[in-house]
Amino acid sequence: MPATEPARAPDFLYGTAWKEERTPALTEQALRAGFRGIDTANQRRHYFEAGVGEGLAAAYRAGIVTRADLFLQTKFTYEGGQDHRLPYDPAAPLSTQVAQSMASSLEHLGTDHVDSYVLHGPASGHGWTEHDAEVWAAMVKERDGGRTRVLGVSNVSLRHLHQMAATGAELPAFVQNRCFARAGWDRDVRAFCSQHRIVYQGFSLLTANIEVLRSRLVGEIAARLRATQPQVIFRFALAVGMLPLTGTSDPAHMKQDLASRDLSLSADEVSAIERLAG
C-alpha cells in the first residue's frame, strides 16, 4: 500500500497523553462522546498505552464501538524520549526495537494491527539521520507485514522532511506537529504536506496558542457563531486541511470539540485567523 494512501482517518483525533490513571475512563468517555480516532504512543513517560487498551476493551464490551469502527494510532519512541519503562531491549538494534515496540503496542491495544504507526520524533533536531533511516525502514516492514495500515512522523521540521525525501525514502501518510500560530500555524510544513498528499495532524492547537484563543477576532467570531473560542480554533484547523487533536478531559468539551465540525467560517475569517500572530 503506498504511504500516501490515506488510512480511514476520521476528521478529529482524541489524544491520550498525560492522562495517567485516568486514561482508561477518558478513552471510553471520548468514544461515548463520538470520537472514532484515538492517538497514543508506546512511551510510558507521557502515555499509558495499556490504559488506552483498557478503555477500548470497556467500550467494546459496552457495545459503543467495534474495532472496525476505530482509527488507532500509536508511535515508536527512541530511548532518549523514554523513561526507565522501555517497551524494547535498548541493547537491541533499532530495527529490533521497532518490532518489539510494535508487538508491545498491539498487546496493549488488544488488536492485531493499528491504523497508523508514527515515528515519535527524529533522533536529532538538526536533520534526518542514519538512525531515522533504519527506524523508518523497520516501520515500513511493520506496514508491509500488516501490523499497521500506514506510517507517519511527528515533531518534524521542514528540513527533516526535505532530507527524508532526498534519501528516496517512502514519504509518510501523516505528519503530526505541535502547531503554533506565531510560526504561521506551521505553514511551511503544511505546504510540504499538501504538495505531497500528506495529511497534517495538528496538536496543542489550544495550549500553544493562548494569545490567539483570547484574541478579539476569535472572540467576535465565537460570539457570531454562538460557539466557544476553542470551537472556532478547531473549525479553523479543519478549514485549512488539518486533522486536529484534542486531549480534553472534560466530557462537555469533548462534545463541543466534535461539534466544531458543524460550524461555518467565511473565507475571510479563515484568512484572518491564519494571519493572527503569524
Q: What is the pLDDT of residue 8?
A: 73
In the block, which residue shows the cell 478579539?
216
Bridge partners of 150?
116
User: Can you name the CATH fold of 13-178?
Assistant: TIM Barrel (3.20.20)
Q: What is the pLDDT of residue 43?
A: 98
Q: What is the pLDDT of residue 28?
A: 98
d(CA 55, CA 244): 21
Q: What is the pLDDT of residue 278?
A: 57
Helix then strand then coil, % of the chain, to nearest 5: 45, 15, 40
Q: Which segments in the chain show pLDDT lower than 70?
A: 1-7, 277-278
SS3 53: helix
Extents of the domains making up the chain: 13-178
The answer to whether 16 and 161 have CB atoms below 8 angstroms apart is no
